[in-house]
Structure 1
Amino acid sequence: MSKIVSIGPAPTSPLAGEEFVPMRDGVRLATDVYLPNGDAEPGDTILIRLPYDKSGAYTFIPLVAQYFMTRGYRVVAQDVRGKFRSEGEALLFVNEAYDGYDTIEWVTRQRWSNGRVAMWGDSYYGYTQWAAVSTQHPALKAIAPRVTGTQLGEPVEHRSNDITRSVEWGVTYLYPLSYFHSQDAYFWELDLDRRPFSAQVEEVLAEIGSRSISYDQWFPRPVHLRRFPAGSPFDARPVPVLQTIGLWDNCAPLSWADVTEIEKRPVWAMNHFLRIEAMDHESFYLGDPADARTEERSEEQLRRQLPRMLDAALEFFEIFVRGNGSASGYPRVTWALAGTDEVRTSASWPPPGTVERALFATSEGQLAAVPETAGTVAIWVHDPADLVPSSVENAFAFLMDQPNEAPLGDRGDVLVFTGDAVEHAVDFVGPVMARARIQSDGPVMDFFVRLLDVAPDGTALRIARGQVQLADASHPTVVEVNLGQLSYRLAPGHRLRAHVSSSDFPEFIPQPGTGEHPWSAIDIRKNRQRLTLGGDEPFMLSLSALEES
């Protein structure tokens, strides 16, 4: 077992005063208050509620607060319940709704507050914004969640009547052990070659000397958490929301699921504004120079990053919190066209003027405009002892590495299908879907599809991906795979390529081949996987492209 490293709270920023804000049950949450120039006069407040240490280096909240203060905002940063300096139990998701309400109420009663509150933040501290919305505090005027979703971190639910379901992320069971074990954060390395993975967790918990309630709620028998005791945020009174989604964010499927929910509710849709950026979860961008793509960013690098992280939210708050400017003039959708320096706006997503393009995999390893007449079957072996590796070590920072995925196609357990080089640039925007008829001689089959941009020099950048789990793989079954959304220019001379496999490890927990739970399985078995090409049920990709391209 690797060494366990624990990290406690960093010192409070000298720019802030720390308060302990009482919740309705008496638990006190550690809260840093930043006042521009120490000004105690009433003004607008931006609230940030997070579990990653409000004073720590990872989220650099003191720098964020400084930037917001230059625009005259009071900033309130709070460790969520049970984390770092806050009291109470460290428990994923379930206390954020009413703790958010109580904190907003406290803010409105301070002499430096004018009663108007906005919220900002990424990932879990994007989730805390949606939780606060669900409780409908009247002082909450706008939110700006980035790279998050209302179902963030939810384990895959295994229902007996499911034909297909999602493939479980590896981080699902590790996250409650790292950031939500207790007040401090704990980090350790999972031995990827030693099964069962669950036994390693028990060793870690024994060494720490206490259990993680959040882990025990999810494994071995998941408990359905009551995330929103006041009701779904989408059933609450809508507030203006600027939702930022990263095209390379591994959590983007959760963000797009929220977009779908919002579009079902016309009043919410009227208050929803979407921002699509060519970034990943950790705010690395496709166009970043190599010297900016470092795991430990300096304070100077972080300060240079602040405008692209915060300016859009500040512009949004200026209209919807301060009432300066016209809401009708704010673009409904702002989207970066990756592969270019262009940022465009539109009234909807996908933007008007797209046409669907279908590509079909052939027995010759091509992506063609028409399917083969005869149906053939491609076969590969899923070997749990030799898994297809994930592209990067840190799935949340894919664009820090921007890996060349072409070598994965040299593996015998990866099917490769490549299209022709395009003569003119093609702008792919909107959803990407795959449809496939699959089968396995094992009881459960995971099916992964990666879409790549292959440059003339042979290097390949992943631009979309999706995966699905077939619960009963013994019978041939047609499945649909959501590969997310594209906003990407395929340059002249470049090709599209699809990689098909049955694992993506360690980002996703791999099937042992026996049908046992993959987190607790000990025995493993090879499986032969089958994919139909051509015929009446061909393997196909469906993409949308702008008509002009």
Structure 2
Amino acid sequence: MTTFRQRLTRVMDGRSRKGAELGPYAVEIEKDLRVPMDDGIELLADLYRPIGADGSLPTIVIRGPYGRSGSLGGAARVLAYEGFTVLFVSSRGTWGSPGVFQPQVDEQRDGIATHRWTRAQPWFTGRLATFGESYMGYTQWAVAGKMQRDEPENAPEAYVLQITMADFGAITWNNGAFALRNSLGWTRMMDRMDRGGLALLGMLFPDPKLEKAFDVLPLSAGDSAAIGRQISWYQDWVRHEDLGDEYWTKQSHTGSVPDVTAPVFMLTGWYDIFTPWQLRTYRQLVEAGNAPFLTIGPWGHISSGKAAPAHRDSVAFLKSVFADEPWDRPAPVRAFQTGTDVWHDLPEWPPPAVTSQSWLLGAEGTVGQNAVPPGSTRYTYDPDEPTPAVGGPSLLPDTDPVDNAEHEKRSDVVTFRSSALSTPLELAGEPVAHIRVRSSAPSFDVFVRITDVGPDGRSMTVCDGVRRIGSVGTRATDPDADADGFREVSLPLWPTFHHFAAGHRLGIQISSGAHPRYARNPGTGEAAFDAVSTIVAQQEVAHGGLQGSRIDLPVWSR
């Protein structure tokens, strides 16, 4: 007999997943189990058990630092409604688990200890899977390859990895540019979670202190400005600007991705903060012979629209692996094409018949496939009045494409437009920009965005990317300058699956920043931890001829 509260909770769980059909089981919850770690710490966990289930489905482990109740508890409950036993463990130093929370640092050893312990429990159903999104996906990557290689008898037998990646350093310092909005915003959020109570409500409203903190120099003072004190991990992130530092390499699990041989399901969105890296780990698995199932939708990191399809696909995947239930999925990859708003079933990502086409930037703001005479375009970048971010992937609720028309009127943004397309143009993959540029500053950023320019003049974001030059973290890999001071800066843009309709134009936007999505570049080349001085930079982009700039587009010819 279910209680009124249980029935109400089930209704709310269904509504949060846009009416997705939930499983038939009632759920019992055992709270605050103690899970011993190798150093004697006992992490707290909640156990969700489906009442009356026959135990034929696997036990699922979820691990993360965001608590075990609310919407996250809902993720565990909806799996238990389907017949899965679910263990939800709080990372050390969070939500009652003792120890000190150091993001990413302890997740591998704690995950391995958790999986060993889980398999020894009387309620363990005999097979093990892991599940989760964002940080709860990273905790899966932290153990996946290592356990499958070193102790396969204890390793998970399937993985559900949603909007996540295996190396958080790569997004923190994205091609040398510090992801300020995400890093400081997340730090602020975790501090409020740690304090609990009414502080959680603050995450739902604008935070003037945070907005002001985005403009503080040096970057290492941002946490004090936003929160009122230093936060150890934020200080570490800013201090370790070079991704080759041991601080980052010991947290990266990209190298062990090919060791994963168990079945994998991935889900991401075109506007998620992790998309480039998640799709690269997908390719690693494909090339290692373990092609995952993959769903890519029109979602950002916290888009509500992904909840229902994520639930349906995750459950279908797990039941197909562990219960041999048929999954009515016609192809391994399901991807949403923007521009047409149509889902496509594909054998892999990128799909077959994708070829690279070079589109050349030309004089007077043109872009096309034909050769153009050489020339250059100049603009000024002032870090004291930094080029603002307009849209783009973030931890904010709304990351849908935005109109850049007003933004492109700025003097520190240069734009290029193709002629109206006579036939549709479809992109499927990761565009790569090759921008020949010189700067009067020792260090500078190159930010490139592709837009879809409609007949009405709107210039809607398709995808973008950034690359820093002349910084502590990039000097070892910076391209050399030629005799005239120009460097060819190559940068991958966000993956995309976009249809440009006939009559539309391909737009290319170049600037030297997107603040505070990426922290402004002061221009001095000093370590970001200490840099307070700024330099106004005169930038020059070369186009045309052999010395020009281009965009290599992944064109889908189906």
- For the pair 1:276 / 2:280, whether they are aligned, the reply is no
User: What does 1:339-350 align with in structure 2 at a 5 Å threshold?
Assistant: 339-350=339-350
For the pair 1:214 / 2:233, whether they are aligned, the reply is yes
What amino acid maps onto 1:150 in structure 2? A
Which residue in the other structure is 2:58 paired with? 44
Check whether the contact 2:436–2:541 (CA below 8 A) recurs between aligned residues: yes
Distance 1:176 1:450, change over 3 A: closer
The answer to whether 1:135 aligns with 2:147 is yes
| CA displacement, residues 402-428 of structure 1 (integer Å, 9 cap, x when unaligned) | 422221100000001112222443322
Equivalents in 1 of 2:326, 2:450: separation in Å?
41
* CA deviation after TM superposition for structure 1 residue 278, in Å: 2.1
What's the secondary structure of 1:371's corresponding residue? coil
2:496 pairs with 1:486: yes
Distance 1:369 1:237 in 2: 41
Q: Deviations over 1:337-365 (max 9, x none)?
A: 22334322232322122333322222111
Shift of 1:530: 0.9
Distance 1:200 1:481, change over 3 A: closer
2:270 equivalent to 1:247: yes
Task: Give the letter for the 1:22 counterpart.
Answer: P
- CA 1:507–1:175: 2 relative to 1, 3 Å: same
- Gapped regions of structure 1 (runs ≥ 5): 1-12, 158-163, 286-304
Match of 1:98 among 109, 121, 129: 109
Change (3 A) 1:343 1:256: same
Query: Is residue 516 of structure 2 the alignment partner of residue 506 of structure 1?
Result: yes
Decide which structure has greater helix share. 2
Alpha-carbon distance change, 229 to 199 in structure 1, aligned in 2, over 3 angstroms: closer
Q: Distance in 1 between matches of 2:409 and 2:192?
A: 44
Give unmatched runs, 5+ long, in structure 2.
1-12, 14-26, 204-208, 471-477
Distance in structure 2 (CA, Å) of the matches to 1:355 and 1:254: 21
| Partner Cα distance (2:366, 2:92) in 1 | 53
Q: Give, in whole Å, the separation in 2 of the partners of 1:456 and 1:64.
A: 43
Q: What secondary structure is seen at the aligned counterpart in 2 of 1:35?
A: strand
Give the secondary-structure state (helix, strand or coil) at the position aligned to 1:270.
coil
Among candidates 145, 157, 163, match of residue 161 of structure 2:
145
Inter-CA distance 340–419: structure 2 relative to 1 (3 Å threshold): same
Worse-superposed segment, 21-30 or 40-49: 40-49
1:284·1:397 contact (CA, 8 Å) conserved in 2?
Answer: no
Find out whether 1:69 has 2:91 as its counterpart.
Answer: no
Which of residues 216, 235, 246 in structure 2 aligns to 1:224? 246
Match of 1:199 in 2: 221
Identity %: 25
CA distance in 2, matches of 1:231, 1:284: 28
Range moving further from structure 2, 135-144 or 362-371: 135-144
Please name the residue that 2:41 is paired with: 27
Aligned residue pair count? 500
> C-alpha distance in 1, partners of 2:510/2:351?
29
CA distance, structure 1, for counterparts of residue 270 and residue 109 of structure 2: 32
The Cα shift of 1:22 comes to 1.3
Question: Cα RMSD over matched residues?
Answer: 3.1
Match of 2:257 in 1: 234
Contact 1:238/1:271, CA 8 A, preserved across alignment: no
| 1:398 CA drift (Å) | 6.9
Larger mean CA deviation between 307-316 and 396-405 belongs to: 396-405
Contact 1:378–1:530 (CA<8 Å) still a contact in 2? Answer: yes
CA contact (8 A) 2:172 2:237 kept: no
**Can you list the C-alpha shifts for 1:496-535, whole angstroms capped at 9, x where unaligned?**
2111000100010111122223453222121101110102
Q: Tell me the equivalent position of 2:23.
A: none
User: Which residue is equivalent to 1:5?
Assistant: none
Over 3 Å counting, the alpha-carbon distance change for 1:375 and 1:425 in structure 2 is: closer
Q: Which residue is equivalent to 1:83? A: 94
Q: CA, structure 1 residues 417+393, in 2 after alignment: closer, same or farther (shift >3 Å)? A: closer
Matches within 5 A, 1:352-363: 352-363=352-363
1:9-64 per-position Cα deviation (integer Å, ceiling 9, x unaligned): xxxx99522112111222111111111237695742222111111214xxx12222
Give yes or no for contact 1:381–1:528 (8 Å, CA) kept in 2.
Answer: yes
1:543 corresponds, among 535, 546, 553, to: 553
Picking from 147, 160, 179, the partner of 1:169 is 179
Moved more, 22-31 or 220-229: 220-229
Q: Scaled by the length of structure 1, what TM-score is found?
A: 0.82
Q: 1:244 offset after TM fit, Å?
A: 2.1
Partner of 1:10: none
Once residues 171 and 431 of structure 2 are traced to their aligned partners in structure 1, the CA distance between those partners, rounded to angstroms, is: 24
SS in 1 for 2:514: coil
CA contact (8 A) 2:182 2:395 kept: no
Indicate whether 1:370 and 2:370 are aligned: yes
Distance 2:304 2:438 in 1: 38
Which residue identity does 1:261 align to in structure 2?
Q
Specify the alignment match of 2:335 in structure 1: 335
Closer, same or farther: CA 506–523 of 1 in aligned 2, 3 Å: same
Offset of 1:172 from its aligned partner?
A: 6.6
Is it true that 1:531 corresponds to 2:538 in the alignment? no
Residue of structure 1 equivalent to 2:454: 455
Counterpart of 1:379?
378
Matched residue SS, 1:86? coil
Which residue identity does 1:86 align to in structure 2?
Answer: S
Aligned residue number for residue 351 of structure 1:
351
1:126–1:491 CA distance, 2 compared to 1 (3 A): same
Distance in 2 (CA, whole Å) between partners of 1:228 and 1:198 is 21
Deviates more, 1:341-350 or 1:444-453: 341-350
Deviation at 1:69, TM superposition (A): 2.3
Contact kept in structure 1, 2:188 and 2:226, CA below 8 Å: no
CA contact (8 A) 2:239 2:528 kept: no
Please give the secondary structure, in 1, of the residue aligned with 2:300: coil
Please state whether the residue corresponding to 1:339 is helix, strand or coil: coil
Give yes or no for contact 1:439–1:531 (8 Å, CA) kept in 2: yes
185, 210, 230: which one aligns with 1:189: 210
1:39–1:112 Cα contact (<8 Å) kept:
no
CA distance in 2, matches of 1:429, 1:169: 25
